[in-house]
Amino acid sequence: MVDESSPAPAVAAKPAASLHEGLLVALRDFIVEGNLADGARVPERALCERFNISRTPLREALKVLAAEGLIELLPNRGARVRELSPEDVRELFDVMGGLEALAGRLACERISEAEFAEIERMHHDMYRFYLRRDMHGYFHCNQAIHLAIVAAAGNATLAATYASLAGRIRRVRYSANLAKDRDRWGEAMREHEAILDALRRRAGSELSDILFLHLRNKRKAAQASAG
Amino acid sequence: MVDESSPAPAVAAKPAASLHEGLLVALRDFIVEGNLADGARVPERALCERFNISRTPLREALKVLAAEGLIELLPNRGARVRELSPEDVRELFDVMGGLEALAGRLACERISEAEFAEIERMHHDMYRFYLRRDMHGYFHCNQAIHLAIVAAAGNATLAATYASLAGRIRRVRYSANLAKDRDRWGEAMREHEAILDALRRRAGSELSDILFLHLRNKRKAAQASAG
DNA sequence: CTTCCAAAAAATGAATGCAAAATGACAGAG
DNA sequence: CTCTGTCATTTTGCATTCATTTTTTGGAAG
């Protein structure tokens, strides 16, 4: 009879996935990856066959996904893939900006030199992609940097919240593609320079502002290209 | 046969609660209000009788509550009320601080004079409670102000995220009671003066800093009194 | 008296069955 | 030809049932 409160390492990661958790992940990916159209009904029966399970665990997973905001449950009318209105997208971008601003602030408080060096390295990689006009590589690097800042904040609750919102907005990510807006690309690169500079100086409040505005500008670019 | 996409007012509020949503709210309150001890097992069977439902809807609600972070699901070992470690509390306070910082920033962008006047009024009320040393009234007013700022941000996603975290931390709220720390009380009051001042000047970035630090100080006070 | 093992008892996770509501089709009236 | 009211089919929501795992209890050995 071991005491459970002290040795519990604050739910480290996901060592042992319960059977139904696998289904949840699979279903989440299935929806996030766009296998279902926006606003489409989520066919219970078809998904049961698709994943070889009965309706009970599927419906449980659906409830969780609804709580996460990925789908919406209409009483007696089943589940629908949640459509993101332009207003929703605006809200999501702002909240992600707020969370990144927080992450930057916290990261300044506790980031190690090694972690910073790693982010700096990624930044230089990204700059090379920028010079080469390699959009794909740039995009990948960009995301890695933002994620690294969130990770450097050392706050699992923040990371989880951030990940949840990121999942919700992923379906609309295409519109954030700035391939057609070369000016924005250069601006974003300059903003990232400022981010790295503030992080180097551990200027939390300043970095917080920069990150929020960075996301704001990203949102504006996305809105301009999409709307 | 009306078209559902255009006239849908973005899920107005909660006009008709689906049957099982009522259960979810009831169960959430039941747990948040502390009817179950920290870390205690959630007795499925007992709750079924308590709410007069079968296990299926209860388990669905449990899954949602687990996604919200209120309880945790151990594979084949049922649900437990999630214990908040000091680390969890630290994280939650910081994330709430980040969200309030964001709320303040957004509020500065879009708050109306009427909304500001309302917050100002609440602030003066709170000051009166402070002068009278009316802890209960002060506390109530304080919370209303913070909620009003979040509301003034005009971001439903932010409000929902904030509410979710607030629910998770509510069980540990007692420790934030600053009754024994008169110095902190005065400091908090001064911080609120600064909050109102920055909001009046629509100084978003500044208000953002103040709000985050306000929550930080609140956390420190809570930690000092609790630990 | 303590410790360890085994079997019973309980609880969890998942599947199936059933009643109610919604969706769609079809026929008749205007 | 269009609109409307009724009926059959599908689907949802919940209860019940079944299999597997865990927990507890009882007893025997050390």
Residue in B5, B202, B226, B213 with CA at minimum distance from that of residue B104: B202
- Cα–Cα distance measured from residue A224 to residue B90, given in angstroms and rounded to the nearest whole number: 39
- Which nucleotides of strand C lie within 7 A of protein CB? 11-17, 21-23
- Residue carrying structure tokens 């629908």: A80
Q: Which two tokens stand for residue A196?
A: 């790295």
List, for residues B139-169, the tens digit of each pLDDT value.
999 999 999 999 999 999 999 999 999 999 9
Distance from CA of B154 to the nearest CA of A (A): 9
* pLDDT one digit per residue (tens) for chain A, 227 residues: 333 333 333 333 344 456 677 899 999 999 999 899 999 999 999 999 999 999 999 999 999 999 999 999 999 999 999 999 999 999 999 999 999 999 999 999 999 999 999 999 999 999 999 999 999 999 999 999 999 999 999 999 999 999 999 999 987 765 556 656 778 899 999 999 999 999 999 999 999 999 999 999 999 988 877 65
| Residue A11 Ramachandran class (φ > 0 left, ψ -120 to 50 alpha, else beta) | left
Q: From CA A57, how far away is CA B60, in angstroms rounded?
A: 9
- Candidate from A59, A64, A158 with C-beta closest to B91: A158
Report the DSSP beta bridge partners of residue A71.
A81
Class in CATH terms, A86-226? mainly alpha
DSSP letters along A109-139, please? HH--HHHHHHHHHHHHHHHHHHHTT-HHHHH
Domain ranges of chain A: 19-81, 86-226
Measured CA to CA, the distance from residue B63 to residue A17 in angstroms comes to 15
- Minimal C-alpha gap between A99 and chain B (Å): 7
Chain A residues close to B25, C-beta within 8 Å: none
The hierarchical CATH code for the domain A19-81 is 1.10.10.10
Out of B18, B64, B212, name the one closest to residue A64 (CB): B64
H-helix or E-strand spanning residue B127: helix B113-131
Which residues does B193 contact at the CB level (< 8 Å), separation at least 6? none
Q: Enter the tokens of residue B130.
A: 């402070």
Q: Which two tokens stand for residue A181?
A: 């807006």
Asked if A45 CB < 7 A from strand C, the reply is no
